[in-house]
């Protein structure tokens, strides 16, 4: 089906109606806005935004997630953890973490409009960050969106080796301790695969999402 054109009305089509093939595979809708309410509805529906001009909304056929029983700490990362090289905090510098993710040399989809929108989500208590500090400087971090027992990890960055991996490790442990049921990372990369990330189908993701968002987890 062609993607839906959103208006000011707060709704999304069924994510299973996403474009099925080609460069727009996974595209569900376009237009609308980046309000707190719409972004939260998107995540609760299995959808996320990925561009701002125009605003586009996606639900890929395959989804990257971390399974709690498959989390893996490679030897090199375990050594860094034992050294206690970094100070790790939560929600101390949310916007700065997003700006760090946006400034990566390899490029990013994180436009200024996204930074503003997700900062509003953070101020409303729905978006969170984990920061790595060294010598008082922010050297890495990760951020994402929480909705019930879902945490959708959005992006991470590092300025010092292993800083983003340490942030991700601490985030995963924190979410597990707080009873989160679904840790979504959208897509599996070489880094996240080494830490135990796997792919599941959209159908499986939506089934698990329904149960996760019904939980009352506190970040």
Domains 4-60 and 64-213 share a fold: no
pLDDT of residue 131: 98
pLDDT tens figures, 28-61: 999 999 999 999 999 999 999 999 999 999 999 9
Q: What are the tokens at 172?
A: 């995963």
Can you tell me the mean pLDDT for 76-85?
87
**CA–CA dist 168, 154 (Å, integer):** 11
State yes or no: pLDDT of 104 exceeds 90: no
Instruction: Give the CATH fold of the 64-213 domain.
Output: Aminopeptidase (3.40.630)
Distances 21 to 11, 26, 60, 185 between C-alpha atoms, Å: 24, 8, 10, 21
Supply 116's token pair: 């503003």
pLDDT classification of 132: cutoffs 50, 70, 90: very high
Which residue ranges make up each domain of the chain? 4-60, 64-213
State the architecture of 4-60 in CATH terms.
Answer: 2-Layer Sandwich (3.30)
Rounded to a whole number, what is the distance in angstroms from the first to the last CA of the chain?
Answer: 37
Mean pLDDT of 151-177: 96
Q: Is the pLDDT of residue 76 over 90?
A: no
As a whole number of angstroms, the distance between CA 191 and CA 197 comes to 9
pLDDT tens profile 172-182? 999 999 999 99
> Taking all residues of the chain, what is their mean pLDDT, rounded to a whole number?
95
Residues 6 or more apart in contact with residue 57 via CB below 8 angstroms: 3, 6, 12, 27, 28, 29, 30, 32, 42, 47, 48, 49, 50
Q: What is the mean pLDDT of residues 176-190?
A: 96
Q: Answer yes or no: is pLDDT of 3 > 90.
A: yes
Share of the chain above pLDDT 70, in %: 99
Contacts of 52 by beta carbon, 8 Å cutoff, 6+ apart: 34, 111, 113, 114
């Amino acid at each position: 089906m062609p993607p839906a054109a959103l208006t000011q009305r707060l709704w999304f089509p069924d994510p299973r109606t996403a474009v099925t093939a080609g460069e727009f595979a996974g595209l569900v809708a376009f237009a609308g806005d980046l309000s707190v309410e719409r972004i939260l509805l998107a995540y609760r529906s299995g959808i996320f935004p990925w561009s701002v001009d125009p605003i586009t909304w996606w639900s890929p056929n395959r989804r990257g997630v971390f399974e709690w029983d498959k989390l893996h700490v490679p030897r090199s990362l375990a050594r860094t953890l034992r050294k206690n090289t970094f100070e790790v905090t939560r929600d101390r510098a949310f916007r700065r973490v997003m700006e760090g993710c946006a400034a990566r040399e390899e490029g990013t989809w994180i436009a200024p409009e996204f930074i503003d929108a997700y900062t509003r989500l953070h101020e409303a208590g729905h978006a969170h960050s984990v920061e790595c500090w060294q010598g008082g400087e922010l050297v890495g971090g990760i951020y994402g969106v929480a909705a019930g027992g879902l945490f959708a990890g959005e992006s991470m960055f590092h300025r010092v080796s292993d800083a983003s991996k340490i942030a991700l490790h601490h985030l995963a442990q924190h979410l597990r301790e707080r009873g989160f049921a679904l840790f979504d990372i959208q897509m599996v990369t070489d880094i996240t695969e080494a830490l135990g990330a796997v792919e599941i189908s959209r159908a499986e993701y939506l089934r698990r999402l329904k149960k996760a968002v019904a939980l009352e987890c506190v970040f």
